[in-house]
Amino acid sequence: MRITEIFHSIQGESTYAGEPCVFVRLTGCPLRCTWCDTAYAFHEGQEMSLADVMTAVKSYGCRLVEVTGGEPLAQSQTIELIESLCETGYKVLVETSGAIDISPVDRRAQIILDVKCPGSGMTERMWWPNLAQLTAKDEVKFVVAGRSDYDWAVGIIERYGLTGLCPVLMSPVFETLEPRQLAEWILRDRLPIRFQLQLHKFIWAPDARGV
């Protein structure tokens, strides 16, 4: 499989934010979100066997592992990687764009599914049947670029009853929407969701790789 980077960092997103975590970032993504902060993972990378990836992950001695990208589910071997990580006893998080069917993913893994708001330019790429596959241990996430994205996200949360299903997270597009603005909208609407900022961009430089 093609890998951009494997690194050990503080989990910056999700309900696991703040915990030490190993990241496996797979190369390539069929989407092009307007605000993507990981465009360096679209191309290049290094071909690695499943055994090589497992050895690299093991070297960090950390129980929490996130499979991300790029779009991790765009490579067919990722299904086997996730299964192997689960089988070895890691707590596995899979960060995915929502555009690719999650049904082949090992259900011991926890899925963090982005719902692509209109500001990303990728809403029409969403594979909506994914939402029906989520369980209480998964997470749904909206990355919001402005007020119209926020209103759209609230509509989707209501239409699919997402807050009754699993944790729902909302974060502002970095340096595009003021965190305080999003926080105020959430509070004003009494929205029972989880606001989040990408911790690693505050701990390290906003454009740092491998953190």
Ligand X SMILES: Nc1nc2[nH]cc(C(=O)O)c2c(=O)[nH]1
Ligand Y SMILES: C[S@@+](CC[C@H](N)C(=O)[O-])C[C@H]1O[C@@H](n2cnc3c(N)ncnc32)[C@H](O)[C@@H]1O
H helices present in 41-138, as ranges: 50-58, 78-88
Check whether 38 is labelled as a binding-site residue. yes
Residue 194: its H or E element: strand 194-195
Check whether 35 is labelled as a binding-site residue. yes
Q: Which pair of tokens denotes residue 199?
A: 């911790």
Number of helices followed by number of strands (H, E) in the chain: 5, 9
Stretch that binds ligand SF4, among 7-15, 24-32, 56-64, 149-157 (CB under 6 A): 24-32
Which residue has 């960060």 as its token pair? Answer: 95
Stretch that binds ligand X, among 9-17, 48-56, 126-134, 148-156 (CB under 6 A): 9-17
Nearer of residues 82 and 117 to ligand SF4, judged by Cβ? 117
Is 13 in contact with 23 (CB distance < 8 Å)? no
Nearer of residues 101 and 190 to ligand Y, judged by Cβ? 101
Stretch that binds ligand X, among 4-12, 48-56, 80-88, 177-185 (CB under 6 A): 4-12
Nearer of residues 78 and 97 to ligand SF4, judged by Cβ? 97
Check whether 166 is labelled as a binding-site residue. no
Kindly determine how many residues on this chain lie close enough to bind ligand X according to the rule CB under 6 A: 11
Nearer of residues 97 and 185 to ligand X, judged by Cβ? 97
Residue of 3, 4, 6, 13 that binds ligand X (CB under 6 A) = 13
| Residue 118 CB coordination number (10 Å) | 15
Within 13 Å and on the Cβ side, how many CA atoms surround 87? 9
Q: Does 14 bind ligand SF4 (CB under 6 A)?
A: no
| 25, β-bridge pairs | 5, 68
Is 164 in contact with 176 (CB distance < 8 Å)? no
Check whether 33 is labelled as a binding-site residue. yes
Binding residues for S-adenosyl-L-methionine, as ranges, are 35-37, 70
Binding-site ranges for ligand SF4 (CB under 6 A): 29, 31-33, 36, 38, 69-71, 97
